[in-house]
């Protein structure tokens, strides 16, 4: 790859993991996030995604090969009370990154979308032809951004793709995450009581697999469709995940009710067959091993308070 890969949201969970993976392969990355930062000793440039003049200024004169767009208000719970801000950051931010890519003449754009774009789903092994019917503003911002990605790809011949990630877990996750709260209960012995979650299904994906999928999309020779489901491959309820946590950490004291989280959606299981075929994507970290590693990480670094289910 000749030129830099711009990674937005690079102080965040997915962006940082993608950066580490690319830099290990010798790829030069330009890391961007809302405020300047240093993450594990690596500098991140500050720029608001909605500030197009600043994005242009940062990239002026640089050779840029690709953009990985991870920057967003991530998850239905983040910015739930400021839906217009979700729209601005997530949709306008994506439009700005696509436009920047057009101006810079990039050869690949990878947009990190979400299965939240589907809204409520009840089926098994649903492929990417499943209609997008988002049930929260966050999901709508992901669906709308995907449309922009498709339009820029068609109109300006930018090889661009959207990856619909399921719930990502693992070290460095800072946003609300039910799995982390379960592990914290196991590590501290503190009770975790929720009125919801027991029957809520997700296909958790470990951060290492999510980053591998993004890198796979950067390297893929081409795309046969505009979007790909990227999950951990196995659907579990939070009740089943709690069983694994109890088995790993005997002190876990978790009681989940059968209600729903306000603003969250029902998720079926999403097929990853197309991603396996076109991106060479195959999840490597099974849930039990991933949770054990996440617990090891949390042991040294207690996380924030209990929150929502996680995207
Ligand atoms: N974490 C999940 O479970 C999950 C699931 C599906 C999809 N996704 C998607 O993956 C992407 C990355 O999410 P993540 O989990 O790494 O979240 P994260 O919150 O860890 O990282 C997102 C980053 O975006 C940055 N950001 C927010 N507003 C910004 C702005 N105005 N300008 C510049 N940067 C801004 C934040 O500072 C943050 O560092 C997002 O697009 C999210 O929608 C995440």
The domain ranges of the chain are 4-168+204-230
Q: What is the pLDDT of residue 311?
A: 59
Taking the C-alpha atoms of residue 6 and residue 281, their distance in angstroms, rounded to an integer, is: 22
Ligand 1 centre distance from Cα of residue 247 (Å) = 31
Cβ of residue 167 lying under 6 Å from some atom of ligand 1: yes
- Pick from 11, 13, 231 the residue to mutate for probing ligand 1's pocket: most ligand atoms within 8 Å of its CB: 13
- What per-residue confidence (pLDDT) applies to 261? 76
Long-range contacts of 83-92 (CB under 8 A, 24+ apart): 83/137, 86/137, 86/138, 86/141, 87/137, 87/141, 88/50, 89/49, 89/50, 90/138, 90/141, 90/142, 90/144, 90/145, 91/141, 91/144, 91/145, 91/148, 92/49, 92/50
| CATH code 3.40.50.720 for 4-168+204-230 | yes
Q: Distance, CA 75 to ligand 1 centroid (Å)?
A: 8
Res 54: pLDDT: 98
Q: Which of 146, 159, 157 is nearest to 91 (CA)?
A: 146
Helix axes 178-188, 238-248, angle to 10 degrees: 30
Cβ atoms of 160 and 98 within 8 Å: the answer is yes
**Cα-to-centroid distance, 98 and ligand 1 (Å):** 17
**Sequential DSSP letters for 229-272:** EE--S--EEHHHHHHHHHHH-TT-EEEEEEE--TT------B--
Looking at ligand 1, which atom is closest to the CA of residue 8?
34
The pLDDT of residue 2 is 79
Q: Which ligand 1 atom is at minimum distance from the Cα of 173?
A: 20
Q: Is 143 in the pocket of ligand 1 (CB under 6 A)?
A: no
Q: How far apart are CA 3 and CA 74, in angstroms?
A: 28
What pTM was computed for the model? 0.95
What does the block give as tokens for 297?
């990480």
**C-beta of 87 in contact with ligand 1 (< 6 A):** no
264 lines ligand 1 (CB under 6 A): no
Any ligand 1 atom below 6 A from CB of 71:
yes
Specify whether the CB–CB gap between 6 and 70 falls below 8 A: no
Bin 3: left if φ > 0, else alpha if -120 < ψ < 50, else beta.
left
48 in ligand 1 pocket by Cβ < 6 Å? yes
Q: What is the mean pLDDT of each run of 10 residues along the chain (311 residues)?
A: 92 98 97 97 98 98 97 87 95 98 98 96 94 95 98 97 98 91 97 94 97 98 97 97 98 93 82 98 98 95 53 59
Determine the residue of 9, 58, 85 to mutate for testing ligand 1's pocket, defined as the one with the most ligand atoms within 8 A of the Cβ atom.
9
Please tell me the predicted confidence (pLDDT) of residue 301.
80
Longest dimension (CA), the chain: 56
Burial of 310 (0-12, 13-18, 19+ CB in 10 A): buried
CA–CA separation, 157 vs 154, rounded Å? Answer: 5
Q: Whose CA is nearest to atom 15 of ligand 1?
A: 13
Tokens of 3: 């030129």
């Amino acid at each position: 790859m000749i030129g830099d890969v711009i990674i937005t949201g690079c102080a965040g969970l997915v962006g940082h993991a993608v950066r580490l993976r690319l830099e290990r392969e010798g790829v030069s990355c330009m890391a961007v996030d809302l405020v300047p930062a240093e993450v594990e000793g690596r500098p991140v440039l500050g720029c608001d995604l909605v500030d197009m003049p600043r994005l242009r200024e940062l990239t002026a004169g640089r050779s840029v090969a690709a953009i990985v767009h991870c920057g967003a208000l991530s998850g239905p719970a983040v910015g739930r009370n400021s839906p217009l801000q979700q729209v601005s950051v997530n949709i306008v931010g994506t439009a700005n990154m696509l436009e920047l890519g057009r101006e810079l003449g990039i050869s690949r754009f990878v947009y990190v979308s979400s299965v939240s774009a589907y809204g409520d789903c009840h089926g098994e092994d649903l492929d990417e032809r499943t209609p997008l019917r988002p049930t929260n503003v966050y999901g709508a911002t992901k669906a709308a951004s995907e449309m922009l990605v498709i339009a820029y790809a068609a109109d300006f011949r930018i090889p661009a793709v959207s990856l619909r990630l399921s719930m990502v877990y693992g070290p460095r996750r800072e946003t609300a995450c039910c799995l982390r709260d379960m592990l914290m209960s196991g590590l501290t012995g503190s009770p975790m009581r929720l009125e919801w979650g027991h029957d809520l299904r997700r296909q958790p994906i470990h951060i290492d697999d999510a980053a591998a999928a993004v890198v796979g999309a950067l390297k893929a020779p081409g795309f046969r469709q505009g979007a790909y489901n990227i999950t951990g491959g196995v659907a579990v309820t939070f009740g089943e995940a709690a069983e694994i946590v109890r088995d790993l950490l005997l002190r876990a004291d978790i009681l989940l009710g059968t209600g729903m989280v306000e603003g969250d959606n029902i998720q079926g299981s999403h097929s990853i067959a197309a991603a396996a075929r076109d991106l060479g994507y195959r999840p490597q970290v099974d849930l039990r091993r991933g949770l054990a590693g996440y617990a090891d990480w949390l042991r040294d670094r207690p996380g924030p308070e209990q929150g929502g289910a996680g995207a």
